[in-house]
Every structure is written in structure tokens, then in C-alpha cells.
Amino acid sequence: MIVVDASAFGFALLDEGPFGDQCRDLLAEDDRWIAPEHWMVEVLSIIRGNLLGGKIAEEHAAEATDGLARLQVTVPLTRILLPRMWELRNNLSTYDAAYVAAAEVYGCRLLTADERLARAPGITCPVAVLG
């Protein structure tokens, strides 16, 4: 099992270069993915931002959105994660804390492209940083 944050899913769906390849390879190593309830909204926001920012074409955005809808992800209930998310409030955004809390609850590593998240004080899960 691995908790996958929105940044990692975003690179897997959008990046056609070596960074995206690395992300897809890491995801293929363990296909039992976990993410908190808001993960899909965050990934869709990444797709939208890349489209509006001119980084991807409309067709690529549509393909990524279709791919997003097909991903099979285990989603823990937020209420189970809330106590740990609250403990992390001084070091992480609520959104990032949900990913960390999920990894800690499930006893697995977190995959992210966010180096700041990986360096946050107080987290106890292993973190794999893309790049």
C-alpha cells in the first residue's frame, strides 16, 4: 500500500517526460493506492491549472480527466484522519495533513512531489519524493 498525493497523481497523468515516467513506475510498483477524500478534486484542479496555464492542450486535459476517473484508490473516511490532521496543523496545510495522516494510519509510505511536505516536522510516515 502507498498513499499517493495529488502532486504525484498529477505528474503521473500529465507529465510525458522522465519525471512522469518515474512517477508512473513508482505507482506501478504498488498498485494499492490510498488517498484522502479530497484527492480527486485536487488532481482535477492540477489538470485545470495546467490547461489554463497553457502547459497542456485541451485534448491532453480531457485524456487526463478520463484517466483520473478510472483510477482505483482506497479512500479512508476523513473523520478517522481528523485527530492526526489537527495535530499537524502548525506544520502542514489541512489538505497535506490528510495525506500524512492516511499514511500514518495505514502504516505505509507517502508518495509526493512536494519536498516541503516531506521535510515537515512531526510526520512519522516514510515519504518518497519524486525527482
> What's the rounded Cα separation, in Å, for the pair 123 and 113?
16
Domain range spanning residue 123? 2-129
State yes or no: 21 annotated in a binding site.
Answer: no
In tens, the pLDDT along 2-61 reads 999 999 999 999 999 999 999 999 999 998 999 999 999 999 999 999 999 999 999 999
Q: What pTM value is reported for the model?
A: 0.95
Q: Tell me the C-alpha distance between 29 and 25, whole Å.
A: 6
Which of 1, 61, 5, 56 lies closest to 30 in space, CA to CA? 1
Q: Say which CATH number the domain at 79 has.
A: 3.40.50.1010
Domain total in the chain = 1
CA dist 5 and 84 (Å) reads: 17
